[in-house]
Structures are given as structure tokens and as C-alpha cells.
Amino acid sequence: MSIYIDEQTRVVVQGITGMEGGFHTGEMLAYGTNVVAGVTPGKGGTTAHDRPVYDSVKEARERSGANASIIFVPAAMAADAIMEAADAGIPLVACITEGIPVQDMTKVLPYVRARGVTLIGPNCPGVISPGKSKLGIMPNRIHRPGRVGVVSRSGTLTYEVVDQLTREGLGQSTCVGIGGDPVIGQSFTDVMKRFNEDDETDLIIMIGEIGGNAEQEAARYVRDHVAKPVISFIAGRTAPPGRRMGHAGAIVSGRSDTTEEKIAFLKQCGIVCVDDLAAIGHTAKRVSRS
């Protein structure tokens, strides 16, 4: 099974008439994603990519039966867009937007959780189940169906890892970019639980980075619950303490945040740690054969 989306997922695009939303809607459609509607306030009654555009998510859900949303709206309006989707009864929301204020997300997260909504992101590439559906901005051509699950904070590192896997003949079950902000919807542990329960995932790859303890929390779950092999790469080995590197959540604030401390703990929990990102592909191939 797919852990978030499949061929039956009916997608509404919030911000479909914008430059980013329009481009990536075309890419999702080309991949076979079942995009059923778009939302842009004030442009209801028009069409985009031959899909109807509505003024509200509520109307889009009622008219099209959408059960997932992807958000391409500016940062200042993104929090409201997420909450609008939750109010409309959309159970799965992926927010691609970057630069959303942390204060906004501290309000959004409990709001969506109280309504039973699964939020992926923000500041993320979304989620793809190769050969089935794509709810995000991942390059179409690099993915292949298979049995390796990938979860990462970084979009670009996800693409690099997926490309390596595909070149090694290892397809992917689902690839999830959880986002690099301090406050996000799905954590490494949340995704790890889904992969652990997924009959179509045999091997899990976790791409982490400096900052926070999300990787350690996931490692504890792996230690206590996961029998499947897990491979990890932690980015940011050369980052100086106190310096943010790329993502808002990637900042070393103490000894336990450093790459070395994370890697040591992950290894204690039985995770195979790779020092060189370029080695992920052949390491996965070796582990998958063992």
C-alpha cells in the first residue's frame, strides 16, 4: 500500500493559477496525479489545466470530492491556506511554501491536529509514490516504483538519493520530504511508523541534518519497533555551532546537536550510517541483498 497517496487520491491545488502552482500542477498531471480542482480566491468559475478553479477549498471539496491538497501560496497567506483546507475537511495537506513565520506554524499545527488532518511540510518537496501519484515538486524522471522508502528534511538531498537508488536498480515505495523548518507537520518518527507498517517497503533511508533531536527520536523508534534495515546520512558535519545552515531548523545549539553526536546515537540504535552522501546508493544495494 502507499503510506500517504495512491492512484485514488483526488488532489486540489491551492494557488493553481500562480506561477509555481501552475507549473507544478502540469508536472503532477504529467506524472498521472489525479488533480481534480484548483483554488484561487477571486478566480472561481475559471479553469486551469482544464480543471475547474474555485474560490474556496470547501467548494472545491464539495464539487470535486478532493481528499488531498497541495499548497502553493505566498508565505504570508500560507498558514490561512492550511487552516482553510483543514476546515474544509481535507484529510491530507502538503504545504510546499517556504518562509512561513514560525509563530504562524505554532498556531497551525495544533489547529490541524485537532481536526485529524495530516500535514506534510511546510518548506518541503511533498510526497511521491512512484508509478502511482505525486503530491509535490519532485522531478518526475528520477523516480521508479520499488520497495525502498525515503524520508528527508532536504528536497535536493532527496533527489540526489533517489537518483542514486534508481541508477542502482532500486525503486522507491514512497519518498517524503518533511521540510526543514523548526515547526513541521510530519516528523521523521511519524513517517518511520508508516514505513514500518507498509508491506511494500523493505528498506528505509533517512536523510537528516544538524539541529534539533528529530533524528534521535526516530532512531529510538527504530531501535524499539523496526525490524527493517534503516540507512541514514546526516548533513552538516562542518557546520560551526550557532550558525544556521540552509534550513531554519538546521542550527547547532549544543553538543547533542552535532553531526557526530547524532551519528553515534543512530549507530547505537542499529541504523547503518553513511559518511558520504554519494555512497547511499551502493550501500542500499548492499544492505538490500544481505
Domain boundaries, the chain: 11-120, 139-289
- pLDDT at site 153: 94
What are the φ and ψ backbone dihedral angles of 136, each rounded to 5 degrees? 170, -160
Sign of the torsion angle spanned by Cα atoms 179, 190, 8, 88: negative
**Nine cell digits for residue 226:** 523496526
Residue by residue, pLDDT tens for the chain (290 residues) are 579 999 999 999 999 999 999 999 999 999 999 999 999 999 999 999 999 999 999 999 999 999 999 999 999 999 999 999 999 999 999 999 999 999 999 999 999 999 999 999 999 999 999 999 999 999 999 999 999 999 999 999 999 999 999 999 999 999 999 999 999 999 999 999 999 999 999 999 999 988 789 999 999 999 999 999 999 999 876 655 555 555 554 444 445 556 788 899 999 999 999 999 999 999 999 999 87
Query: Yes or no: is domain 139-289 CATH 3.40.50.2300?
Result: no
Q: Active-site positions?
A: 247
Which fold would CATH assign to domain 11-120?
Rossmann fold (3.40.50)
- pLDDT at site 261: 82
Rounded to whole angstroms, the Cα distance separating 85 from 97 reads 15
- pLDDT at site 83: 98
- pLDDT at site 243: 53
- pLDDT at site 240: 59
- pLDDT at site 187: 97
- pLDDT at site 251: 47
Rounded to whole angstroms, the Cα distance separating 67 from 147 reads 25
Residues 6 or more apart from 173 whose CB is under 8 A from it?
2, 3, 129, 130, 145, 146, 147, 148, 149, 195, 198, 200, 201
- pLDDT at site 259: 77
Which residue spans within the chain are E strands per DSSP? 11-14, 35-39, 47-48, 51-54, 68-71, 92-95, 118-120, 126-129, 133-136, 145-152, 172-177, 203-209, 230-235, 272-273
- Omega within 30 of 0 (cis) for the link into 122: yes
- pLDDT at site 211: 79
The two domains 11-120 and 139-289 share their CATH topology (first three levels equal)? yes
- pLDDT at site 290: 77
Q: How far apart are the first and last CA of the chain?
A: 24
Residues 6 or more apart from 100 whose CB is under 8 A from it?
75, 78, 79, 122, 123, 181
Residues 6 or more apart from 225 whose CB is under 8 A from it?
193, 196
Rounded to whole angstroms, the Cα distance separating 98 from 122 reads 6
